[in-house]
Amino acid sequence: MSQTGNIARPRTVRDVVFVDGVRTPFGKAGEKGIYAGTRADDLVVKCIRELMRRNPALPAERVDEVAIAATTQTGDQGLTIGRTAALLAGLPRSVPGFAIDRMCAGAMTAVTTTASGIGFGAYDVVIAGGVEHMGNHPMGAGADPNPRFMSERLVDPAALNMGNTAENLHDRFPSITKERTDTYAAASQAKLAVAYGKGQIQPDLVPVATMKPGQGWTVNTVDEPPRPGTTVDDLAALRTPFRAHGRVTAGNAAGLNDGATAAVLASAEAAEELGLSIKMRLVSYAFAGVEPEVMGIGPVPATEKALKSAGLGIEDIGLFEINEAFAVQVLSFLDHFGIADDDPRVNRYGGAIAVGHPLASSGVRLMNQLARQFEEDPSVRYGITTMCIGLGMGATVIWENPHHSSYNSHNSGTETAVATESKGAAA
């Protein structure tokens, strides 16, 4: 008992819901890309402002935290970007913020970290996202790996190059041929083109005005990387830069890109109180480490952990949003779980091979796309967002569809729901 005689009230784990998510159009990194000359933090600010505009029922002072990820935390991606972006976006100065780094899974970690805070009761509403301006900050630029990595052979030097790790996956799984990866990559381009044609991508995009000397202002409203009409024959002719006579090319891997994402998450109670939409409910999440030399296999153990935590099996998952860092990485995941290369549950709108992969921002893109697919297909109850992570890790988040007919039975505060969330927060 405290000195005043009061007893701290017991805490219960609360449901966490995904309210809304947006992203900038993704651009190609480099001086010819749409965001050459644009600051990374300004891209994040665009996303935060759009989230607040799209959700007028959310008072700005009710945002309890802003978590923004970046892999290279320097320059316009430094200075505790979660806090600086919150200030630049015009949120009240009472709203705190922080920066986070888990390489490709930065935004995903921003979501799971703040979601844990919501579940614990520290937050009611948060904004979480990520940014990567690979034109301003090339991957690995300025990094200084500890010499022990080499002198003590803690990892193969090739593991510091993600393309080499993808070639290693091909070595480990010889059934994943270049022909299979090229076929998968061409399908990714085609699926994205169809999704654009149906207007399934555009609702999540925040227009970004950019200015270049001699060209004036341009309002960017679509992604720059896609190559609609790409064929398997086109991809077969590309060189293999990571290994002579290799299998990984620029066509069956994600490119170097610029872009930002952000999402609003809340407790189910706060969402109901404020009248906010609920697009998904967080069921469980997990991170796992693997050999850095084959980092692309990371989603497999992460998914197994997340499924075990949720008490689900892979057969319960009706939609998969898998980040396509490399086609071989996606196919190794599908092969492990006995899923066909062209399974209609997988990346219905295409993936990063087509749309781009601005490292730390991509996790929320996966969530945006899954949330829209949930709305379109109420027959699906559970879906996952998963990705591999540099230096040998994987991340998976399992979500529930609020449009499914059985959703309300898991939103009633029962012991089962609380137990599921408790395991997810501990994963």
Q: What is the pLDDT of residues 5-55, one digit of tens each?
A: 788 888 889 999 999 999 999 999 999 999 999 999 999 999 999 999 999
In a domain, 223, yes or no: no
Task: Dump the DSSP string for 101-164.
Answer: --GGGHHHHHHHHHHHHHHHTS-SEEEEEEEEETTTS-TTTT----THHHHTTSS-GGGGSHHH
Percentage of the chain beyond pLDDT 90 is 86
In a domain, 65, yes or no: yes
Question: Can 388 be counted among the known catalytic residues?
Answer: yes
Confidence of residue 417 (pLDDT cuts 50, 70, 90): very low
Give Cβ neighbours of residue 197 (< 8 Å, ≥ 6 apart): none
| d(C-alpha 166, C-alpha 170), whole Å | 7
For residue 66, pLDDT over 90 is answered with yes
Question: Can 410 be counted among the known catalytic residues?
Answer: no
Per residue in 188-226, pLDDT tens? 999 999 999 999 999 999 999 999 888 899 999 999 999
Cα distance from N-terminal residue to C-terminal residue, the chain: 32
In a domain, 293, yes or no: yes
* pLDDT value at residue 10: 83
Check 47, 133, 137, 388 and give the catalytic one.
Answer: 388
Q: Which domain holds residue 312?
A: 16-137+254-426
Domain count, the chain: 1
In a domain, 190, yes or no: no
CATH number at residue 261: 3.40.47.10
Per residue in 317-347, pLDDT tens? 999 999 999 999 999 999 999 999 999 999 9
| d(C-alpha 212, C-alpha 34), whole Å | 9
Contact call for residues 204 and 368 (beta carbons, < 8 A): yes
In a domain, 156, yes or no: no
Check 133, 137, 170, 357 and give the catalytic one.
Answer: 357
If you average pLDDT over residues 99-114, what whole number do you get?
98
Question: Can 357 be counted among the known catalytic residues?
Answer: yes
Instruction: State pTM to two decimals.
Output: 0.93
Confidence of residue 155 (pLDDT cuts 50, 70, 90): confident
Contact call for residues 271 and 17 (beta carbons, < 8 A): yes
| d(C-alpha 201, C-alpha 371), whole Å | 12
In a domain, 182, yes or no: no
| Residue with the larger pLDDT of the pair 245 and 408 | 245
Check 104, 133, 170, 410 and give the catalytic one.
Answer: 104
| d(C-alpha 208, C-alpha 220), whole Å | 5
